[in-house]
Structures are given as structure tokens and as C-alpha cells.
Amino acid sequence: MEDKEILQAFRVSSNKDFAFKNLVAEYQERVYWHVRKILISHDDTDDVVQEVFIKVYKNLDTFREASQLFTWIYRIATNEALNYLKKRQRRHSVSIDDVYHELENTLTHGEQIDGDEIQMKLQKALVKLPEKQRLVFNMRYFDDLKYDEMSEITGTSVGALKASYHLAVKKVEESLSVD
């Protein structure tokens, strides 16, 4: 089902659930992997992904078709994932560095992770990046998103995103080349 058809069907109350089912089927994997790369843990990601789609359901009526549906969903997913990290930081009254340290710990000891040495080295380099650089790197390198799509998602200019990606790549390559 195309995005346009999903949106049209969602506006008719008798088709709402059917349209939503299709929307979830279409976007669940992309949303999951986007959030997973931010939160690292599968269980945390599972919670957040469910929240993301519940928010999508509640707010789809307000979606203005000025942007693409997937960038709008990505934006909600990004907000939810980053808010989840912040809430955790607030709840445990720890610094943001502690949260990143926890992410690194999950990478080393967490479940549902099966990468070889170089892939793990890359992930460890990524959790050390500032949040936005990590986000930009993930969207560009792993998800192959275009800069204008990333600009819609993050509300940041294309120039700033390019600069951010450039910095992230430099730092990551440096980390990878160190033994």
C-alpha cells in the first residue's frame, strides 16, 4: 500500500485500523533499526518502537503532507529514542557520559548482538560521538538517507549536516585505525 493510500484510508474511520496495520508493516523494520542504532539494547528499542507507532496513530490526523511520511515517522522515532535516553539520565540522576558508558557496556555484554571485531569497533567508536553526529552518521552511512531527507528529520540545515557527517567520519576513521 502506498503512503498516499494509507493516509487516505486512515481518514475514513472504518478503514483506520486497516490503514494503520499497513503503515506498521511498511515501516516497522526501518523504525526499529533506526531506534536500535541509537539505543543499542533490543529491549529498550522494543519499548520505544511501540511508543513511536502509538504516537504515529494518535497524530497521523495532524500530519501535513508537506513532508514525506517516512521522514515524519523518523522524526518521531528520533525524538522518542533521544527522549528515552534523557529520561533514563534524569531518572537515575546520572551524567550523559554515564549514559554513553552504559551504551558501550550494552554493546559489549548485551544480547542480540553478533558482530565481528571490526563491526564492533565501529559501533564502539560511534557511541563515543556526540549524539547528533552519531545520528547523522547512522542515517547517512547505514540508512543511505539523502541530506534533504535528514534535514527534514532533524530540522537542521543541509550544510550543517554535511559538516557534521564529515566530522563524524573523520573521528570514526581515526578510531578504527587505532589498534
Partner 1 sequence: MSIKQKMKNKDYDSNPLDNPQLKKHPFQVEAGYFNGLSERIMNAIDAEESDLKFNLHLKKSPFTVPDGYFDNLSSKIEAKLREEQKEVKFYQRPLSRWLAVAASLVLLITFYFNQSDQAASTDLLSSVSDETIISFLESENGLSDELLLNLGEIDSVLDAIYADETSIFVNIMDSNPELEYDFEYFDY
Give the binding site for partner 1 (CB under 8 A). Answer: 17, 20-21, 24-25, 28-29, 32-33, 36-37, 40, 42, 46, 49-50, 53-55, 57-59, 62, 76, 78-79, 82-83, 86, 90, 112-116, 118-120, 122-123, 130-133, 135, 140-142, 154-157, 159-160, 162-167, 169, 172-173, 176-177
In whole angstroms, the minimum distance from the beta carbon of 2 to partner 1 comes to: 18
In whole angstroms, the minimum distance from the beta carbon of 106 to partner 1 comes to: 11
Decide whether 7 or 124 has the Cβ nearer to partner 1. Answer: 124
In whole angstroms, the minimum distance from the beta carbon of 30 to partner 1 comes to: 11
Q: If 0-12 CB within 10 Å is exposed, 13-18 middle and 19+ buried, where does residue 44 land?
A: buried
Q: How far apart are CA 119 and CA 163, in angstroms?
A: 24
In whole angstroms, the minimum distance from the beta carbon of 109 to partner 1 comes to: 14
Residue 120 CB contacts under 8 Å (≥ 6 apart), including other chains:
107, 113
Q: Are 31 and 49 in contact (CB under 8 A)?
A: yes
Q: How far apart are CA 59 and CA 147, in angstroms?
A: 25
